[in-house]
Structure 1
Amino acid sequence: MAVLLFFSIVSFFLTAVIGMGEGGAEAGSPSREFFRFNGDVAWVVQVSDLHLSAYHPERGADLLRLLAPALRVIRPSLLLVTGDITDAKNERRSSSRQDESEWMQYRNGMDAIVGHNYLENRRIFDIRGNHDKYGVPYVGHNLDFFSIHSINSQLNRHNTMNSISLVGDNRIYHFLGIDDTIGYGIRWPSNLFGHPTDRTLDAVESELQYWDSQPGGLVTKVVFGHFPTSFIASSKRRRRYEGIFARQSVSAYICGHLHAKLGKTLWRLHMIDFPSGPNGLEHVGQFWEWELGDWKEFRLMRILAIDGGAVSFLDIGLSSQNQLLDDFQTTILITHPTDSRCMNQDEMKNPVVRNDINSLVFSVQPIRNVTARVFDSARAFKVVEEIPLQPVTGSVNFKPLFHAKWNAENYKSMPASRLWLQVFVIDDQGKETASAMRPFSVEGKLAYHPSTLLVYLIFNVHWEDLYLFLLWSNIFFLILLLFLPKILNYLMERNELYQRWATSISVSSPIRQKKFIFPLLWYLLEGSRSRKFWLAMVFYLLYLLKMPWFCGHATSENGGIARMYMRGWSIQTPSAPFIKEEQGYPDIMAITLPFMYLVVTPTFLLIYGLFAKCSGCRLYYHRKMSCAYETSPRGPGQEFVRGAPPKYSLSVISSWIIKFGGYWTRRALLLACLIISLLHLKICSVLMAAYGVGPVALSPALAWAPQLFLAAAIFALKIDLDVSLHVPL
């Protein structure tokens, strides 16, 4: 039951959130856009998972009420909207559909931000999320509202990649946006993963390589998308982004998709070993992955800054902000030195020790004083140094950047989590604001960051590989359940071993062996004795492995007919009726795992249990008859009617088997059948809400077979026991 509970929680998460085919949207050569900035420090703003909904208009209204004032104070170089712009769900969240009114909320909110001169529209870059592709048969379909109302579409950015470069005096900060949504927008719950094609991977690698060959300054690369790497499927040739990002020296990959309920510090350092180069040294590639929580419930926003190639970020929640611009809270982002928990890179070969402290201060009030303090955690966080910071005024436009020189050599060879830095700001009205205290290392050492088991499971495990393991583990278990006892039955009956083995193990074996080995083996042997049911279960398992579970409209109601297999969806489009494409692997795990673990496997086990219970009832009946025979006044020469059992059956059969045929076992088995039936009906009702009542109801393998198996087993055993034993079930 613990295993079943675990998988029910996992499947609920997957369907609530949160391929092997060439299912992703294709990507050609991206158009490149350039923006100038002064100095070596630039910053951008990221928002993700807006989930604008017709049933929650406050989410769209807060774009103007909260986000717009923040952008006016921060004045970022770019605004990145990383997917799930609309919710695309009905009011009960039981089905997915595109609603143009939700897209109009987004368009009106962005137009208001641009209209109030908070940000130029050409500095806004938005990409699709899986919710934005729900039910969209293909890009350009009349349900593809992203191609109509998004900022990218209004500016004719129709490629699935956005290449943006911030060009400074001596450096280039390159941002590459990737749309990895599935090519055919299958409806919920089969649309959870990103699906890059091999062509997309080639285009991404080519674009990242392009900037390595450009003269004129150092390049820092940041990639943004919607899906975390753990929720991005491999391409047809089993290629992935991680190797490309590490090999092309990407500093960070920023994304969304996983909401803040899982955690607000979903950070991961990818370290990938590459084969030895010409010099015989093994190369280790690294990049950071930072997932941003959702705007939907927490109104989260990220400020990401690059200071001389060092990338840092700060996530802030705007839900506590007031409506008025003058009430925007002072925000402090330390750009150097970076946070050693989530921004440094481990095992840096030749770390460059910079003798400066930089901090961005965003405030609606003039700033009077900025001070940085260094604390020593080994001495009860005693202040070891205090450094005043001065505004940087050498640029054409005023920057909220404050700078100071210090002697960083004093802090070399320190553990990564010993020294902590905090910046204090006093504005013109005398109000003091302090940044969060954070550890730092002038040598780029990496500090330990604690994480929870749930965060590790969701963020650090490749769900594509985990799905293969969970699926084939279950199938292998069912194969053993079906064939192992059948083979043992055949061998024992052929060699007349079963009777002798049962006698010997019950008479001479220790009690411990009686309690565990014999009852388990007896359960398997007796449960598999019905040839008709056994053959039916074998055929059903083979059908689930190779044949479609159900057929219907996987995208919109007018889209192509699709068939769902254990390996994904096979889609036949109206434009190409003779061409079928496989999509949605491993997205269908949200359907297959709950069905296999919570319905099919328990059904097989219960069928075995019902037949084993029948055998227990027979033994119970024989025990009663034998007791009556022993106390009968008839002589030993009189025969017992209806075939008395062998003499050893009463003396050696385990009491566990006798109890298994009793009153409470019968009730427990029937209750278990009822629970499995209710779980099965619940799964079917979810699928009916998602893909229609008819396709699911008219699919025998999915909707009928488990219920028919249980009903037939109960009915067959009831007749057998009533007729043969006169013991009612």
Structure 2
Amino acid sequence: MEKTKWIDIKGNHDSFNIPHLDSVQNYYRKYSSWHKDGSFHYIHTTSFGNYSFICVDATLNPGPKRPFNFFGILNTNHMEELSLMATESLHSNHTIWFGHFPTSTIISPAPGIRTLMSSATAYLCGHLHTLGGLMPALHSQHRGGTLELELGDWKDNRKYRILAFDHDLLSFADLNFEEWPVVLITNPKSFLYSSSAHEPLVKILHSTHIRILAFSPSVITSVKVYIDRVHLGNAYQVSGPLYVLRWSPQNYSQGFHHIDVSVQDTSGRTSTQSHVFALDENLSLRFSFWPSVILLTDHYVLARVLFGLIVLIQIALLIIFRYLQKPALKEKPGLLTLTSYSLHVFSKINTFYYSILVLNLYTILGPWFIGELIDGHVGACFSFGVFVGGSFLHGGLTFVVGILQMLFFNLPLMAYLCWCLLQRCHGHSFCSHLHRVGRLTAVLVHLAMALLLAWQVYSCYFLQRTYGTLAFFLSPMRMWLVVLTSALIYKTWTLKSSELRSYIVEMKNCQSS
């Protein structure tokens, strides 16, 4: 602490099950070195200028139990506070924003968090880390040139990052702990991570030396530099970790070039750092597709739209087939005709029509469950957000849960009931259809529905374990839906023939023809 400036910030794991900032469960307040809740602006002063570091604290207050604080939230007051910090930072050489959540998982009012940080050189974040190893480098760049740089976690993967400003050109390296030597090439910097809007890139063209930072617990014996696989020589130590080698940047003014630096220490360990550089700002390189999609898409907006569309599609199907004329069945009707026919039968029987219609409307409007979203604090979870501790937290992951609910239960339930009613219209009972329809087909259909129902039952168990017994009983979208599903399935196979007579006659006429 005497030698190093420590700045630590909260993440969503620090705000799980936290009723308020003054709670004894808020371990961040006790164990952090910074001891400050909320966003803040730190200015690092040097003899050659100031460098601003703006923290974005988007953690939830209060903080519900998992999984409903996966998304960060910034309200209007937070945005005004950050806007003021952004204005103050304009006097600095560079501004670095940092926070736990990537911008794609932060819910913020207009103009949006990306617009506020548009004057920043980079935004540093974590949270998604490497997506379980699927994305080792989650890096991308906003339209205004601001870099967004995720970093793998320290807890399991021991990842850390070194950043350096060299003549106001930002360079960084993502590294594994205790892998030595550590190498960071600061000039020429990587072209992919360059931004003409924030950095004086022309300084590379007028530079006299290649500059490298190299660290190791052992004495470094050699720093070899290669450009386009040609050995330029060995860099020499200036002071501390800084090594330099004279070069002529005019020799590389056209096109892309590849620089490699190989460092060896007295312990025999060798490390190589490399990247592509270019001195022509008119060239372009693009970040990988999937990291850009993950970091630059507003996932809560996408989830909200998809959830609304899926619900509206199912409601529209119910209403359309409710009032459309029944199709005339031809000999050997195809899958599409039978599907349409079963939807007609389903939609015109009040029990099924109103049950599924109300279910879908309730999925959008009603509380999914009521329980202890925070220990000792009862709240209610809706599709559009969570009410708890006297606060409303906008929906983020709730929409994702809603999409899963629609795709893996509500829609399959309607399809299953339609299939069962179609068997009834053929004159089958529960036992007879197993033989006449085809034992394997019928078994697979019932097995699929049984697995989905088992998943729904397990979600009731998860609800009880996470949010208490109250949530188990007051859960219309969980336990109550299990009861409703069982009742509807029972109804399909015990439906009186008089209620299906018109459809049965029509079906038999089709079969006899």
TM-score, normalising length from structure 1? 0.63
Distance 1:588 1:173 in 2: 38
- What is the CA deviation profile of residues 583-628 of structure 1, one whole-angstrom value per residue up to 9, with x for unaligned ones? 141132353232222122211221222212211236999xx9xxxx
**1:142 equivalent in alignment to 2:24:** yes
Any residues of structure 2 matched to 1:202-213 within 5 Å, and which? Answer: 202-212=80-90
**1:291 equivalent in alignment to 2:137:** no
Any residues of structure 2 matched to 1:18-417 within 5 Å, and which? Answer: 114=1, 119-120=3-4, 123-153=5-35, 158-212=36-90, 214=91, 219-235=93-109, 238-246=110-118, 248=119, 250-260=120-130, 261=132, 262-271=134-143, 285-318=144-177, 321=178, 329-341=180-192, 343-345=193-195, 351-352=201-202, 353-355=205-207, 356-375=209-228, 382-383=229-230, 386-393=232-239, 399-415=240-256
Does the 8 Å CA contact 1:163/1:175 hold for their aligned counterparts?
yes
Kindly state the Cα deviation for residue 251 of structure 1 after the two structures are TM-superposed.
0.6
Distance 2:486 2:27 in 1: 46
Distance 2:292 2:200 in 1: 31
Distance 1:660 1:569 in 2: 49
- Distance change >3 Å, CA 348–CA 152, structure 1 → 2: closer
**1:610 equivalent in alignment to 2:420:** yes
**1:675 equivalent in alignment to 2:493:** no
One-letter code aligned to 2:352:
F
Distance 2:105 2:453 in 1: 32
One-letter code aligned to 1:697:
F
Distance 1:330 1:601 in 2: 56
Of all paired residues, the percent bearing the same amino acid is 22
- Distance change >3 Å, CA 723–CA 169, structure 1 → 2: closer
Q: Secondary structure at the match of 1:540?
A: helix
Which runs of no fewer than 5 residues in structure 1 stay unpaired?
1-113, 272-284, 322-327, 376-381, 394-398, 493-497, 574-579, 625-656
Specify the alignment match of 2:505 in structure 1: none
Does the 8 Å CA contact 2:171/2:186 hold for their aligned counterparts?
yes
Instruction: State the Cα RMSD in Å.
Output: 3.1
Q: Secondary structure at the match of 1:564?
A: strand
Specify the alignment match of 2:506 in structure 1: none
One-letter code aligned to 1:412:
S
One-letter code aligned to 2:279:
V
- What is the CA deviation profile of residues 384-432 of structure 1, one whole-angstrom value per residue up to 9, with x for unaligned ones? x504433334xxxxx31122332111111213xxx111223344x3846
Kindly state the Cα deviation for residue 531 of structure 1 after the two structures are TM-superposed.
1.4
Q: Secondary structure at the match of 2:165?
A: strand
One-letter code aligned to 2:272:
S
Distance 2:15 2:269 in 1: 46
- Distance change >3 Å, CA 127–CA 347, structure 1 → 2: closer
One-letter code aligned to 1:403:
V
**1:696 equivalent in alignment to 2:476:** no
Q: Secondary structure at the match of 1:570?
A: strand
Does the 8 Å CA contact 1:684/1:703 hold for their aligned counterparts?
yes
Specify the alignment match of 2:279 in structure 1: 442
Distance 2:307 2:194 in 1: 38
Any residues of structure 2 matched to 1:473-512 within 5 Å, and which? Answer: 473-488=309-324, 491-492=325-326, 498=327, 501-502=328-329, 506=330
Equivalenced residue count is: 495
Specify the alignment match of 2:507 in structure 1: none
Specify the alignment match of 1:24 in structure 2: none
Distance 1:308 1:660 in 2: 80
Distance 2:341 2:196 in 1: 57
Q: Which has the higher contact order (CA 8 A, sep 6+)?
A: 1
- Distance change >3 Å, CA 689–CA 443, structure 1 → 2: farther
Specify the alignment match of 1:558 in structure 2: 376
Distance 1:198 1:667 in 2: 54
Does the 8 Å CA contact 1:554/1:562 hold for their aligned counterparts?
yes
Kindly state the Cα deviation for residue 720 of structure 1 after the two structures are TM-superposed.
3.6
Distance 2:93 2:54 in 1: 13
Spell out structure 1 runs of 4+ moving beyond 6 A.
346-350, 657-660, 721-725
Distance 2:460 2:394 in 1: 19
- Distance change >3 Å, CA 370–CA 618, structure 1 → 2: closer
- Distance change >3 Å, CA 723–CA 392, structure 1 → 2: closer
- What is the CA deviation profile of residues 26-84 of structure 1, one whole-angstrom value per residue up to 9, with x for unaligned ones? xxxxxxxxxxxxxxxxxxxxxxxxxxxxxxxxxxxxxxxxxxxxxxxxxxxxxxxxxxx
Distance 1:388 1:662 in 2: 77
- Distance change >3 Å, CA 349–CA 183, structure 1 → 2: closer
Q: Secondary structure at the match of 2:41?
A: strand
Distance 1:617 1:364 in 2: 82
Distance 2:34 2:456 in 1: 43
Q: Secondary structure at the match of 1:436?
A: strand
Distance 2:129 2:317 in 1: 39
Does the 8 Å CA contact 2:129/2:138 hold for their aligned counterparts?
no
Does the 8 Å CA contact 2:140/2:287 hold for their aligned counterparts?
no
TM-score, normalising length from structure 2? 0.88
Distance 2:88 2:55 in 1: 15
Any residues of structure 2 matched to 1:426-575 within 5 Å, and which? Answer: 426-427=264-265, 429=266, 431=268, 433-444=270-281, 445-451=283-289, 453=290, 455=291, 457-488=293-324, 491-492=325-326, 498=327, 501-502=328-329, 506=330, 514-555=333-374, 557-559=375-377, 561-571=378-388, 573=389
Does the 8 Å CA contact 2:417/2:489 hold for their aligned counterparts?
yes
Kindly state the Cα deviation for residue 457 of structure 1 after the two structures are TM-superposed.
4.9
- What is the CA deviation profile of residues 94-121 of structure 1, one whole-angstrom value per residue up to 9, with x for unaligned ones? xxxxxxxxxxxxxxxxxxxx4xx7x44x
Distance 1:134 1:299 in 2: 23
Kindly state the Cα deviation for residue 661 of structure 1 after the two structures are TM-superposed.
5.0
